[in-house]
Amino acid sequence: MAIVSTAVRRDRRWWQAGALLVWLLIDLGLGIWEMGGWKGFAPALKPPAVGGWGQPAADLVTWINAFGMLTGMAWPLLFAGLSMGTLVFLRWRKERTRYLRIRLGLAVLAYFGLTAAIPFVGSSFPVVPNPGGTGLPTWNWPTGLSMLGFVLLALLFGRGSYCGVICPAATYWGGLGQHFIPANINTPRARRLAAGLRALMVGLFVLTALLSIADTLLHWHVSVYGTDPAVFFSGVTWMVIWFLMLLVVPFLGNRAFTRFLCPMGATMGWVAQHGVWEIQAIDPAVCASCTDQACTRSCEVSLPVGRHLAEAGRYRSAACVGCGNCQAACPSQNIHYRTALDWVLPRSTRQPAPVAPGLPQ
């Protein structure tokens, strides 16, 4: 697997961030063009006149909504998908593991089938990859069932079925992000900070969803300057912060949003921990004597997968996004991903070794 082995050089980081900024500005420019130029877009920047201390907050909410409106439009999403999808395609041609090739192919299909298609088909689309995006009370049976389907997939195939396929992050980071894995911030303090931030985001995710439902069913009249709380949280998270976090990737590393902020990923990780997905060492002794640790070095979210495989023969983490890098990178081909497919497909001739007594199951 093509993992960049040299560390991302400090002097290049500002250039890389600048290139990403240009990419984002092109994206936003396409959105403005799609809205009919500045004349069509300018009204979206006009805040409600609330006066007094509330006015700066109303201004901020208006700008946030306008930014999110641009990144959620059809042409910006197509441009992002085509540019990032091309990187995925270039990588896909070099990948040799079946898991990675299938996952990357599905990710690009899901991007154009779910994310980029939504602006064309509107809220009538019965699949919701971005919970809260349409306002929870407007959900109908098909949209609710689509979320239940994502949960079921996470139970059967791990968090990777969402974070590695359905989420647009799978396409963005499947191509672009691999270069930045060596820059991943992974100190104990960063991990504690990430855990705290994710807990905060999950709390806000649940709170705004409940407020949104209460507003509709109980007529609480809760809104963020006229915007449904769940829609606003969803917009801020996935249409604004998500894109702004792209700019700091040269400094924070690959999948910075996933690792530090994503409430959906954290929720799916929790679900997946109670499911079937597990990483297994075919022979734990091989990992125990491995000095290479290519699996750990290649991990999109910097998990110590090699150490756990050496110690326990298997690994399951709520943070694993199922990217497939560890399996592809292992020089001994010593990793097996257990999924629900193991129930129906013949196993490979190289089976995971039985776990030694006393080791965690």
Residue 115 contacts residue 168 (beta carbons within 8 Å)? yes
Of the pair 74, 106, the CB lying nearest ligand SF4 is at 106
For the chain, how far is it from start to end, CA to CA, in angstroms?
A: 30
Supply 265's token pair. Answer: 């990923």
Q: How far is the CB of 318 from ligand SF4 (least distance, A)?
A: 11
Query: What is the distance between the alpha carbons of residues 107 and 27, in angstroms, rounded to a whole number?
Result: 20
Instruction: Output the CA–CA distances (angstroms, integers) from residue 284 to 120, 265, 306, 309, 361, in the order listed.
Output: 50, 29, 10, 6, 14
Of 123 and 186, CB closest to ligand SF4: 186
> Residue 15 Cβ, how far from ligand SF4 at the closest point, in Å?
27
Q: Which helix (H) or strand (E) holds 90?
A: helix 74-94
Helix (H, G, I), strand (E, B) or coil at 279: strand
Query: How distant is the alpha carbon of residue 145 from its chain centre?
Result: 21
Judge contact between 208 and 236, C-beta under 8 A. no
The residue among 74, 8, 83 whose CA lies nearest residue 256 is 8
Residue 357: CB minimum distance to ligand SF4, A: 21
Least distance (Å) between residue 328 CB and ligand SF4? 9
Nearer to ligand SF4, 256 or 305 (CB): 305
What's the CA gap between 79 and 61, in Å, rounded? 26
**Binding interface with ligand SF4 (CB under 6 A):** 279, 281, 286-287, 290, 292-295, 298-301, 303, 305-306, 309, 320-326, 330, 332, 334-335
Residues whose CB falls within 8 Å of the CB of residue 251, separated by 6 or more in sequence, listed in order? 13, 17, 183
Instruction: Tell me how far the alpha carbon of residue 105 is from its chain's centroid.
Output: 16
**CB of 78 or CB of 328, closer to ligand SF4:** 328
Of 65 and 184, CB closest to ligand SF4: 184
Judged by beta carbon, residue 28 or residue 353, the one nearer ligand SF4 is 353
Cβ-based neighbour number of residue 288 at 10 Å: 14
CB of 350 to ligand SF4, least distance (A): 12
Specify the residue, 224 or 290, whose C-beta has the smaller distance to ligand SF4. Answer: 290
Contact assessment for residue 191 and residue 301, using Cβ atoms and an 8 Å cutoff: no
Minimum CB distance to ligand SF4, residue 174 (Å): 11
Question: Among residues 169 and 303, whose Cβ is nearest to ligand SF4?
Answer: 303
H or E stretch at 193:
helix 188-217
**Smallest distance, Å, CB 309 to ligand SF4?**
5
- The Cα 191–Cα 110 span in angstroms is 30
CB 320 to ligand SF4: min, Å: 3
Nearer of residues 62 and 259 to ligand SF4, judged by Cβ: 259
Contact 131, 264 (CB under 8 A): yes
Q: How far is the CB of 52 from ligand SF4 (least distance, A)?
A: 48
Task: Check if the beta carbon of residue 6 is closer than 8 Å to that of residue 182.
Answer: yes
